[in-house]
Structure 1
């Protein structure tokens, strides 16, 4: 006897049209997002700076002619299909497995600085593999929150800029105090506006590479510190040009966005950022307990370090003001923001932010100041998240690559090829009593190389959860 199976299929047939509609809506939204994400907005002054004396090449001309990732038929960021939206791009930056991607070998130099602290500089290619060449260009790199030279986003850029196969620059990564194995030898860590440690590193570079042009590359909080340093130095800046990636720009404006923004901001990112800083302090707690000069009372450490679920402002209210001499969190946010010094920047600066960055809203970008600055060009991509910018790979056996590497390398190489006039350099004096080299007029800026060198391989290990922001 034949038994009809129509009754078995009928529920599926009723659901199928709705499922197809939802599927079409999903792919439609993904397609529209990809179109939006591919677009790039450029903000710059109507009177950009001239890069050569006769005025025939402006900063905007250089970007249009030499940075095809930003301008022209090859421009635009197009996300991989499986990371739609800023949150997915941002989270994958921290949770993805990059252990076999972009391995970099560094040579580490430890510098003792005048306040008793120690800086860890990671150099690639190592001098042991590629001896120093007179006049070789150097790029100083500053990383994100609690990050270091090991971060995947740093390694991706340096693979293009400083790999042994195509050494275009000698890279010097400044690992902030306490980060990535940098020892803490004074009761002081670092904050998002720390610029004196950049000065210490620049002084070492000027001494070690006396005839080299210096360039800069900053990521996230490191981008803010580097940009702030360039603005503070003004016309006397020793650096020839910088790229500022995912710069926070305005912490006073950005703090409410973290605290009261989207669900992810309030219940994920706020705790991740605060927890990362708390963990860094906890890792180096011993010196803050034992050093008589510690600005953090033991009672405060006893109460704060065991706390669970620490928000960013909690750390910046309880710890940061005492550690660095600010009145409160808002005084700190206002003082450290690089948006305050945009008008003083006097070297080529390319800034790149993502329009869907969940950490740094586009409202943080100081549009008015940038439009008045002849030296700053701000690019805003439609997508990319915070320090993600994962796009389909164009070769090399990979499934994806980091888009920002292209405009970064194109811009810095174009500036290098121009052969701009030498920048002013700080004068170096000797302090025989301490065995230090100091910056003339700034006894608080200087260095002494510590007789301990190490070869550091990055790419075989992984960062801590959500580190590097």
Structure 2
């Protein structure tokens, strides 16, 4: 009997569109939060019950009656045309890190809706002017960006840096980026109140970014989050910082929070559809028929394309250039070869990808050992930042069999379990995401009321 068969499979015939939120609080209770005005203290779960009605214990929500299972929700989110939804504009910054690597930060630019004459009814805008500005700012040799995204001019970047509103940093899913519908939905909802500055931190090599070192992102890859947040905290020491991670970005955020403990500059955090135990998720994606057939191959091919478009950098032998000193003394680190790329193009699961690339690069003998070591569940007990967790029991990628009892034991973590929603979707009849609205409501009330 395989490991995954010990737990319940996602049942495609378990259906519905009237969802319910359930708070799961462990034996250690819930941390007390200090409120601003009356200096009263309120427990974390009671704060959500009282001030965030969308997420209160027992709250109900309605999803699309046409997307009545988690599988349908997830498939539609990944396959439907959302080009006329969530019309956010992004200004891109190339962020350089201490190891000479880079990622990109896509800053939400609400003012550009007016500058480029966005028509909310048709989603049309002045594409000629936008194209001229895009051409002027685009760095040579970098890939063309997604719609409504361009690089910032020097003066625009300075203006972004002068904003001292509370900042929300969004971390996307595996091989995704700021262009994903769920990320655009989240960014739009967070910006709607005008209370926050919002930025999406695109992981190295994702969202048409370039890789400039021989390091692919992994679940261990928390150094960029750490450096970026520290940079922003140094810029405005007194403003609040928040972060929200989606799927694999939630894993990276969970690992960062656990590693940092009390040192994190974040005031609060949220995770959506985190695969807390990567080993269980990998087993589900390779052995559960529905998950394997409908989702696993697409994820593997997304990852393979990331390698393919960056082969010019990844294929350079380690240590052959002065700006690429050896970092891993392991012959298998020379895995970025044309032969391996051909092999990877036939992969049907992310496990195969991690077996060939990720695990050897980190010095693990195989992907399973990497998953065991890199799961955020092993660091949840040292999280010291109030953290809202949302996971659905009908998530075909994460599954219902995660060890949530460990999550519940940390009083700083509030686990909101939903019975419906799929993986990152939670789409209602208008294809808006209930989850992104709920997360935005949580951060708004937290920032407004908590010291």
**Interval of TM-score (by shorter of Structure 1 and Structure 2):** 0.7 to 0.9
How far apart are 1:56 and its partner, in Å?
Answer: 3.2
Q: Radius of gyration: which is bigger? A: 1
Partner of 1:465: none
Question: Are the equivalent residues in 1 in contact too, given 2:90–2:106 (CA < 8 A)?
Answer: yes
TM-score normalised by structure 2 residue count: 0.79
Match of 1:34 in 2: 16
Q: What SS does structure 2 have at the residue aligned with 1:401? A: coil
- Structure 2 distance, partners of 1:341, 1:375, is 13
CA distance in 2, matches of 1:242, 1:300: 35
What runs of 5+ residues in structure 1 fail to find an aligned partner?
Answer: 1-28, 393-398, 421-469
User: Where does residue 23 of structure 1 map in the other structure?
Assistant: none
2:103, 2:408 → 1: CA distance?
36
Which deviates more from structure 2 when the two are superposed, residues 366-375 or residues 402-411? 366-375
User: Residues of 2 paired with 1:402 and 1:361: CA distance?
Assistant: 20
2: distance between equivalents of 1:99 and 1:306? 32
Distance in 1, matches of 2:287 and 2:353, equals 17
Distance 2:291 2:272 in 1: 20
Q: Distance in 2 between matches of 1:419 and 1:254?
A: 35
How does 1:215-254 map onto structure 2 within 5 Å? Answer: 215-254=242-281
More moved, 200-209 vs 213-222: 200-209
Say if 2:140 is the partner of 1:156. no
Q: What is the DSSP-based 3-state SS (H/G/I as helix, E as strand, rest coil) of the residue aligned with 1:377? A: strand
- TM-aligned CA deviation for residue 403 of structure 1: 0.5
Cα distance, 1:298–1:368 mapped onto 2, change above 3 Å: closer
CA contact (8 A) 1:143 1:220 kept: yes
Pair 1:302-2:338 in alignment: yes
2:365 matched to 1:384? no
Root-mean-square deviation (Å): 2.4
Asked if structure 2 preserves the Cα contact closer than 8 Å seen for 1:185 and 1:287, the reply is yes
The one-character-per-residue Cα deviations of 1:43-75 (angstroms, maximum 9, x if unpaired) are 1234210112876311011110011112268x2
Show the counterpart of 2:41.
56
User: Residues 262-307 of structure 1, C-alpha deviation per residue, up to 9 Å, x if partnerless?
Assistant: x222223221222221111111111122243387666762222113
Which residues in structure 2 correspond to 1:192-211 (within 5 Å)? Answer: 192-211=219-238
Structure 1 residues 291 and 114: CA distance shift in structure 2, 3 A: farther
Q: Residue 81 of structure 1 aligns with which residue?
A: 65
Cα displacement (A) at 1:34? 2.7
Offset, 1:199: 0.8
* Residue in structure 2 matching 1:145, options 174, 182, 203: 174
Indicate the residue corresponding to 1:289 in structure 2.
Answer: 315
Aligned residue for 2:305? 279
Secondary structure (helix, strand or coil) at the match of 1:187 reads coil
Native 8 Å contact 1:80 1:390 kept in 2: yes
Corresponding position of 1:3:
none
After superposition, the C-alpha distances for 1:169-225 in whole angstroms (9 at most, x for unaligned) are: 111211000111222111112013311111121122123333210001110000111
CA 1:133/1:111 → structure 2, altered by over 3 Å: closer, same or farther? closer
> For the residues of structure 1 that align with 2:439 and 2:293, how far apart are their CA atoms?
33
Is 1:417 paired with 2:448? yes
What is the CA–CA distance in structure 1 between the aligned matches of 2:356 and 2:57, rounded to whole Å? 49
CA spacing shift, 1:299–1:312, aligned 2, 3 Å: closer
Change beyond 3 A, Cα 1:266–1:160: closer
Q: Distance in 2 between the 1:63 and 1:419 partners? A: 12
Aligned partners of 1:77 and 1:382 also within 8 Å: no
Please identify runs of 4+ aligned residues in structure 1 that moved more than 4 A. 129-135, 294-300
Which residue matches 1:457? none
Structure 1 counterpart SS, 2:42: coil
SS in 2 for 1:330: helix
Match of 2:386 in 1: 348
Alignment correspondent of 2:53: 68
**Contact preservation (8 Å) 1:77, 1:384:** no
CA distance in 2, matches of 1:142, 1:99: 21
Count of aligned residue pairs for this structure pair: 379
Any stretches of 5+ residues in structure 2 without a counterpart? 1-11, 111-154, 320-325
CA distance in 2, matches of 1:138, 1:243: 14
- Which residue number in structure 2 is paired with residue 448 of structure 1? none
Residue 204 of structure 2, aligned match among 177, 182, 203: 177
Aligned to 1:362: 400
**104 and 291 in structure 1: CA distance in 2 versus 1, 3 angstrom threshold:** farther
Tell me what 1:113 maps to.
Answer: 97
Q: 1:76 to 1:177 in 2, by over 3 A?
A: same
Moved more, 207-216 or 244-253: 207-216
What is the distance in 2 between the residues matched to 1:339 and 1:274?
Answer: 23
TM-score (normalizing by structure 1): 0.76
Match of 2:84 in 1: 100
